[in-house]
Amino acid sequence: MSVIIAPSVLSADFANIQRDVEKINESTADWFHVDIMDGVFVPNISFGFPVVKAIKKHATKPLDVHLMIVEPDRYIQDFKNAGADILTVHLEACQHLHRTLHAIKEAGMQAGIAINPHTSVELLTDIITQADLVCVMSVNPGFGGQSFIPQTYQKVKRLKQLINDSGSSAKIEIDGGVNINNAPLLIEAGADVLVAGNFVFSSADPLKTISDLKQIGSHTL
Ligand code: DX5
Ligand code: ZN
């Protein structure tokens, strides 16, 4: 199976969101990565339900919604109603992560866990079999266009081992500073999903950039 590419709409042009969503529809990308920031869990505010609904209205591919918010349990059903297909919460934001993952699945979505750069993958040992996705943050969350943290490669290798040992079917997603240079090593380390915001939307030809990332995945795997 080739790598899943999830362009992050945080870097899209919000004055032309329909146009940018349709561009991704036409591309070889697999998912839309949708970043929700509350100004508390992270030092930035992105957007809320009306924008997620607007993206959903035009998107022909699944919405991979990444919640960078405190108390995510309060909004699970709202994100389902807004069109989320995959809902990812931060381990650092959840007191009862097992309960939260099950609430997401009961609402009819796939459940993901995101971990910040300082959070060890070993903390996932007793929850990994409950997750459909682990989002490894390769920047400190809050902003698009930041530099990739190289320590991520080691984390991904350890996480892949943990997933294999546990029999979990969780996918490994990498989020932050992904580009054509680090993508091959990330895939080799065990990444299944690559999120790319700035690298895709700031490029001269986003469709070609997406297809270049996708090609790396099909060659390496
Ligand atoms: C960062 C967000 C990322 C971001 C990625 O807090 O979670 O999804 O949009 O953007 P780039 O690829 O520009 O780092
Ligand atoms: Zn994200």
Indicate which ligand has the atom closest to the C-alpha of 198: 1
Nearest CA to ligand 1 atom 6: 141
Architecture category of domain 4-220 in CATH: Alpha-Beta Barrel (3.20)
For 43-65, write each residue's pLDDT tens digit.
999 999 999 999 999 999 999 99
Residues labelled as active-site residues = 35, 175
Model confidence band, residue 218 (pLDDT cutoffs 50, 70, 90): confident
Model confidence band, residue 217 (pLDDT cutoffs 50, 70, 90): confident
pLDDT mean over 2-22 = 97
**What SS3 class is residue 210?**
helix
Q: Tell me what pLDDT residue 51 has.
A: 98
C-alpha distances (whole Å) from 47 to each of 14, 51, 55, 105, 146 are: 10, 6, 11, 24, 19
With a 6 Å cutoff on the Cβ, whether 48 touches ligand 1 is: no
Beta-strand pair 193-196/171-175: parallel
What is the percent of the chain where pLDDT is above 90?
Answer: 97
Nearest ligand 1 atom to alpha carbon 200: 12
> Is pLDDT above 90 for 221?
no
Q: Tell me what pLDDT residue 219 has.
A: 64
For 148-181, write each residue's pLDDT tens digit.
999 999 999 999 999 999 999 999 999 999 999 9
What distance in Å separates the CA atoms of residue 122 and residue 160, rounded to the nearest whole number? 11
- Rounded to 5 degrees, φ, ψ at 118 are -85, -5
With a 6 Å cutoff on the Cβ, whether 201 touches ligand 1 is: no
With a 6 Å cutoff on the Cβ, whether 110 touches ligand 1 is: no
What would the two tokens of residue 27 be? 């591309």
What's the mean pLDDT when you consider all of the chain? 97
Q: Tell me what pLDDT residue 19 has.
A: 98
The secondary structure of the chain in percent helix, strand, coil, rounded to multiples of 5, reads 45, 20, 35
Which of the listed residues 5, 8, 136, 173 should we mutate to test ligand 1's pocket, taking the one with most ligand atoms within 8 A of CB?
A: 8
What distance in Å separates the CA atoms of residue 206 and residue 200, rounded to the nearest whole number? 5
- Rounded to 5 degrees, φ, ψ at 203 are -80, 160
CB environment 45-60: b (16+ within 10 A), e (fewer): ebbeeebbebbbeebe
**What SS3 class is residue 114?**
strand
pLDDT mean over 66-74 = 98
Model confidence band, residue 18 (pLDDT cutoffs 50, 70, 90): very high
Q: Around Cβ 61, how many Cβ atoms within 10 Å?
A: 16
Nearest CA to ligand 1 atom 1: 141
Model confidence band, residue 102 (pLDDT cutoffs 50, 70, 90): very high
Q: Tell me what pLDDT residue 152 has.
A: 98
Tell how far the Cα of 140 is from the centroid of ligand 1, in angstroms: 9
